[in-house]
């Protein structure tokens, strides 16, 4: 059975989904991708009930708190949230982390900067980091995106089914998987079905880690890392693997069937590999 949970941080309440935890089972902290939510891990949680799963909604996503007005969602601030979560939830004891996409990148930074907090790391269709552009043009585009987004209204759909279809089409994801994500991330209003996600998430970031910082972070990861690369996933993941693979001290790569949400659409094979890796 999967239940609602929450983690109270000084900054706000982090919503989570948890399976029925049992004594002496290995805990897993699961971190979803951009514009997804904790429901991203329901298929894996169902396949691997022998672990104590806590799948969070990152701030701005799902049922978690939104950043205060006039602030923004900087990548590194989510890492700070993870540090606080591990403190509150696990008493700063090292934990197994499973991260998909953005969640995998966040977990990568955490594992490199705070290696004592990560026991083992599983990264699904994400490798390396998205780094800072050297040009001023990209910074301006990011700042302009804030202005443009502030003037937009949230998208509304006439029915839940229409929202599910839109999510499935947007991410090359099976309808059943899209439904899991959508049901956790939508509200029914008088004007239709409206996304819960903070619209500021759709702005570009003017500040990212540098290439050299990213390499140094990866080199400082002490935990064993298992990387899943989806056959029909993003090309940036495949090119990122070639670029960053030599910097990981202890990396195991597994090619898997499916697209970017392979852990939702094709969870059985991934679950078996995770079980072998974690023990």
- Give the single-character DSSP code of 197: S
Give residue 5's pLDDT band: very low, low, confident or very high (50, 70, 90). Answer: very high
pLDDT band at 3 (very low <50, low <70, confident <90, very high): very high
Report percent pLDDT > 70 for the chain.
100
Q: What number of residues does the chain have?
A: 279
Are 72 and 139 spatial neighbours (Cβ–Cβ below 8 Å)? no
Give pLDDT, residue 203. Answer: 87
**Phi and psi at residue 269, to the nearest 5°:** -65, -40
- Is residue 208 predicted with pLDDT exceeding 90? no
134-175: per-residue pLDDT in tens?
677 888 888 888 888 887 877 788 899 999 999 998 878 999
Residue with tokens 């290995």: 26
Confidence of residue 254 (pLDDT cuts 50, 70, 90): very high
Determine which of 56-65, 119-128, 145-154, 266-275 has the lowest per-residue pLDDT on average. Answer: 145-154
If you average pLDDT over every residue of the chain, what do you get?
94
Q: Among 233, 155, 139, 241, which Cα is nearest to 191's?
A: 155
**How many helices (DSSP H) and strands (DSSP E) are in the chain?**
10, 11
pLDDT digits (tens, 9 = 90+) for 87-137: 999 999 999 999 999 999 999 999 999 999 999 999 999 998 888 776 778
CB 217 within 8 A of CB 129: yes
Q: Cβ contacts of residue 80 below 8 Å, gap of 6+?
A: none
What are 161's two structure tokens? 């089914």
> Hey, is 141 helix, strand or coil?
helix
Rounded to two decimals, what is the model's pTM? 0.94
SS3 of residue 38 by DSSP: helix
224/278 Cα distance (integer angstroms) = 10
* Number of other CB atoms surrounding residue 148 within 10 Å: 10
């Amino acid at each position: 059975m999967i239940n609602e949970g929450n983690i109270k941080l000084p900054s706000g309440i982090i919503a989570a989904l948890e399976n029925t935890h049992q004594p002496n089972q290995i805990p897993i902290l699961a971190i979803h991708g951009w514009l997804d939510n904790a429901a991203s891990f329901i298929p894996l949680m169902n396949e691997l009930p022998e672990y104590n799963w806590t799948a969070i909604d990152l701030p701005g996503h799902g049922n978690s708190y939104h950043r205060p007005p006039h602030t923004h969602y900087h990548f590194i601030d989510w890492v700070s949230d993870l540090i606080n979560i591990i403190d509150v939830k696990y008493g700063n004891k090292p934990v197994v982390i499973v991260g998909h996409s953005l969640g995998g990148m966040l977990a990568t930074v955490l594992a490199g900067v705070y290696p004592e907090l990560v026991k083992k790391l599983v990264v699904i269709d994400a490798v390396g980091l998205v780094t800072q552009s050297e040009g001023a043009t990209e910074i301006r585009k990011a700042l302009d995106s804030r202005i443009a987004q502030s003037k937009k209204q949230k998208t509304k759909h006439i029915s839940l089914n229409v929202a599910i279809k839109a999510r499935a089409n947007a991410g090359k994801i099976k309808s059943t998987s899209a439904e899991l994500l959508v049901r956790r991330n939508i509200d029914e209003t008088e004007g239709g079905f409206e996304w819960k996600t903070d619209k500021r998430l759709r702005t570009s970031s003017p500040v990212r880690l540098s290439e050299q910082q990213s390499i140094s972070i990866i080199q400082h990861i002490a935990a064993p890392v298992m990387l899943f690369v989806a056959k029909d996933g993003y090309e940036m993941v495949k090119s990122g693997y070639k670029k960053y693979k030599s910097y990981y001290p202890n990396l195991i790569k597994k090619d898997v069937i499916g697209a970017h949400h392979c852990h939702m659409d094709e969870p059985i094979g991934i679950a078996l590999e995770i079980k072998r890796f974690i023990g």
